[in-house]
Chain A
Amino acid sequence: MRSIDEAFEVFTPVPTVLLDATFHIIQVSASFLALNHLKSGECLGVNIYDLVKSRALVPDPAALQVVLEKAISTKNVYTTSSDQAADRFATSLRAMPIFEQDALLYVLLEVQEASARHERRNAINDQLDTNDTYRVLVDTVKDYAIFMLDTRGNVRTWNAGAQLLKGYKPDEIIGKHFSIFYGEDDITNEKPRRELEICLRDGKVEDESWRYKKDGSKFWANVTITCVVRQGVHIGFSKVTRDLTERKAAESRVVAAYEESAKLKSAFLANTSHEIRTPLHGMLSALTLLMDTSLTPEQRELGSIIEESGSVLLQVINDILDYSKLSSGAFSISTDISVSVPSLITSVVRSIQPALKPGVELGTSLDLNLPTTALGDPLRYRQVVQNLVANAVKFTESGSIDIHASLAEEDATSFTIRTEVIDTGIGIKNVAIGSLFAPFTQFDASATKRYKGTGLGLSICKSLAELMGGAISFHPNPKEQGSVFWFTAKLGKFYTANEVDRLSTKLDAQVLSPVPDSLALVRELAPGKRILLAEDNFINQKVMLMMLKGLGFAKVDTVVDGAEAVDRARRNPLFYDIILMDISMPVLDGLGATTQIRELGVDTPIVAMTANAMKEDVASYLAHGMNDYVPKPVDRKVLLKAFLRWLS
């Protein structure tokens, strides 16, 4: 059995000295000696202040003085907290005074090393121990894995949720590095280390990715790592992991279902439109034939009702297709095709003239500062103008419709062009103004009976104007009854004098009245007219030649590609009265050929012949400088109308 003195000296685990009332050392522990690299002979009988000063021990004399004075004045144990100790070891002192009555007999002084790693571990455990409420809460949570890591990332605590989620028992995982939960790729990329670095810098890091369980299976995890700091010292990290596998699976099911339904919708629309368009075209072409025969006035009127309804139906189908493309975001706008606003407006006026009601005048006014050419999407621009003008025509029984285009703004690279359509029609009631541009609305339910349409037109215009960097709006006609619709569009600038010259065109508002016997009229016109036919497929070429011959055209030249057509036009610019141009041809296609012919300054009417009769394709032909189009297979009646438009 060792003496108490000896036991104190050898076995006290905490570095300790026993001082008398004058602070001279009367006992010292082996651990204190080891800590300060001292021998017991150097300490015993020496004043503690002298020892600390002479050997520059930690903590410094100031801390020593504080702890001793406080302990003695309060007659109780006093500990300096580690952040009060300024040195890098974060050492704290604990002093226990021993009094008899009021007389101080001894002071027991202990040196606590807060910097040692095992102390920090204890701190974490202390924290959890001291807060039983939190510990119980954390331990009983089963849906979340909540656990602590030490500063190096080794697992320190493990709750029930962690055990359930990751499959490890506490004794299997505590002490292991948390990278055990990560996949091989993440470990190769040093993701665990980077996460801790970010966490140290930002205080917190959140991640959503795959993690692995004990059995090797993976789950989609949401992980939040938070830096834990206690009294200014970083003691580790808390980690909360949630299993989102179910949610992710549900999300992907929803996404898949949405994609499937969007695909079905698109397929349904495409199929339906195709299925409706095909018989509709058959019906409309048969009707055209019917209308060219001799009919009684009553029959002719009924026929024209069918014709009108049929073309409205066609418009509706085209609108629905456009709308579905716009709403799915699949609509793209070009920004680099040359746009001539004056010629687009002329072309709209020309196409809409026949629909004007008697007593309605259609006029255009273009500001002088309006650029003749710019860069943008001519077919979309035209579509908006066409739609607004067609609306005005539809709702105006008498008076006038004016199209006014002006330059609203100009900067170094772009023009903002404002186009207004002013009518003296029935106008729009105030209540309807708010929903004017919403899809599937017509401003007055009762109007639906009189004015046919999908109610999609203005909604499409709005989307298009916005896609062109502009806006669309409405206000009542300030002068009289009627409406003013306007839209703006941003068009790019380009500077080729040539192009400008080519595209500056005069406005002509030519009125064409419907002609009952177009065949006879064309046969009258045909002799003496010269036609250039550009068509690469010899079957189509032969049929066209025969058809033209049948119509009385004797002077037809044929070329088999666009380059030859340009060559003919170059050699003899004024020779041909009309050019019939296939679109898809070898060497140079119909669009390229048209562009080159226009660049030569040749303004011979060019009629596109195409099997791609989509509305947007046609508008792009017009934008390239073509004047008209005839769908393939070429219907003689349609061809006759084109000849009447361009040869008379």
Chain B
Amino acid sequence: MPDSTRREAEDRVRDSEEGSVSLPDLGDSIDAVTFEQILEMDDEEDDREFSRSIVFGFFEQAEQTFKKMDDALKEKDLAQLSSLGHFLKGSSATLGLTKVKDSCEKIQHYGQMKDEEGTADEPDEAKCLERIKATLVAVKEEYAEVEKVLKKFYGS
């Protein structure tokens, strides 16, 4: 879809809801339509109490999950890594944190001893762990990036 059309669609969302919100540029790490859905749930735009609690709750959850992933990686516990990947995939998807979500999905698949897409089997356990290790580094960077953007957005 051409950019202009997408923007119109997004504009329409904003215009159609009471009190249009002005969003800063969140970059391509965050899906604007999904994140906007969260912002619409705020009673007042000024304090954004609800969305702030969700976003900061997510920060806490993500950091805890990364720590558990590090531990599981040390233990070489693929099943646990997959389950943690799935867990964080759910909440990052809800917030529209596309890159983090995609990486979590990869970890989920690698943990199931599949390829990146979850379509083909990868019988080599060591290879799966190696891929998870690399993806975990990437997802932490992706997370740090959105964390910075979102913290700036919430002015803290």
Contacts and interface: CB of A to CB of B under 8 A. Distances in A.
Q: Are these two chains actual partners, yes or no? A: yes
Interface of A: 266-267, 270-271, 274, 279, 282-283, 285-287, 289-290, 293, 330, 536-540, 542-543, 546-547, 550, 582, 584, 611, 632-636
A587 to B, nearest CB: 13
B23 interface: no
A287 B1 CA distance: 11
A208 B56 CA distance: 68
Interface in B98-114: 105
Nearest to A321: B119
A267 B118 CA distance: 11
Contacts of B50: 546
Contacts of A635: 37
Interface stretch (B66-74, B83-91, B128-136, B146-154): B83-91
Contacts of A289: 9, 12-13
B102 to A, nearest CB: 9
Given A279-B1, A546-B41, A540 B9 contact: no
Contacts of B120: 266, 330
Contacts of A539: 54, 57-58, 61, 90-91, 94-95
Contacts of B89: 611
A632 B12 contact: no
Contacts of B79: none
Contacts of B10: 286
Interface in B47-85: 50, 53-54, 57-58, 61, 83
B139 interface: no
Contacts of A543: 38, 41, 54, 94
Nearest to B35: A633
A93 B96 CA distance: 104
Given A266-B120, A536-B87, A584-B86, 9 more contacts: A282-B1, A286-B33, A537-B90, A539-B54, A542-B57, A543-B41, A547-B37, A584-B83, A635-B37
Nearest to B97: A633
B28 interface: no
Contacts of B127: none
A154 B10 CA distance: 88
13 contacts: A274-B117, A282-B1, A282-B33, A286-B5, A287-B9, A539-B95, A542-B57, A543-B94, A546-B41, A611-B90, A611-B105, A632-B93, A635-B37
Nearest to A280: B1
Given A537-B90, A543-B38, A546-B41, A286 B96 contact: no
Contact of A286 (B1, B16, B115): B1
Nearest to B34: A633
A577 to B, nearest CB: 23
B37 A636 contact: yes
Contacts of A279: 1
A270 B87 CA distance: 23
Given A286-B6, A539-B57, A611 B93 contact: yes
A468 to B, nearest CB: 22
Majority SS at the chain A contact face: helix
A580 to B, nearest CB: 14
Contacts of B93: 611, 632-633
A542 B60 CA distance: 15
A633 B13 contact: no
Contacts of A290: 9, 12
Contacts of B57: 538-539, 542
A453 B93 CA distance: 31
Contacts of A271: 117
A286 B8 CA distance: 9
Contacts of A611: 86, 89-90, 93, 105
A634 B34 CA distance: 9
A270 B106 CA distance: 14
Given A266-B119, A543-B94, A611-B90, A293 B12 contact: yes
Contacts of B95: 539, 633
A599 to B, nearest CB: 26
Interface centre among B34, B83, B90, B120 (most CB of A within 10 A): B90
A542 B53 contact: yes
Interface centre among B6, B16, B41 (most CB of A within 10 A): B41
A-B residue pairs, 9 tightest by C-beta:
A539-B91, A286-B9, A270-B117, A633-B93, A546-B41, A537-B90, A633-B94, A283-B1, A540-B94
A542 B87 CA distance: 15
Nearest to A542: B54
A538 B119 contact: no
B119 A270 contact: yes
Contacts of A293: 12, 16
Nearest to B40: A550
A537 B12 contact: no
A543 B52 CA distance: 12
Nearest to B37: A636
B1 to A, nearest CB: 5
Contacts of A267: 115
B68 to A, nearest CB: 14
Given A283-B1, A290-B12, A293-B16, A540 B90 contact: yes
B53 to A, nearest CB: 7
Contacts of B90: 537, 539-540, 582, 584, 611, 632
Contacts of A330: 120
Contacts of A285: 33
A91 B5 CA distance: 106
B139 to A, nearest CB: 16
A454 B143 CA distance: 40
A26 to B, nearest CB: 89
A538 B86 contact: no
Nearest to A631: B93
A189 to B, nearest CB: 29
Interface string B1-38: 10001100110110010000000000000000110011
Contacts of B41: 543, 546-547, 550
A266 B119 CA distance: 9
A538 B61 contact: yes
Contacts of A540: 90-91, 94
A539 B53 CA distance: 9
B108 to A, nearest CB: 9
Contacts of B61: 537-539
Contacts of B86: 584, 611
B138 to A, nearest CB: 17
B107 to A, nearest CB: 13
Nearest to B61: A539
A286 B61 CA distance: 30
Contacts of A542: 53-54, 57
Nearest to A543: B94
Nearest to A550: B41
A330 B118 CA distance: 13
A619 B93 CA distance: 22
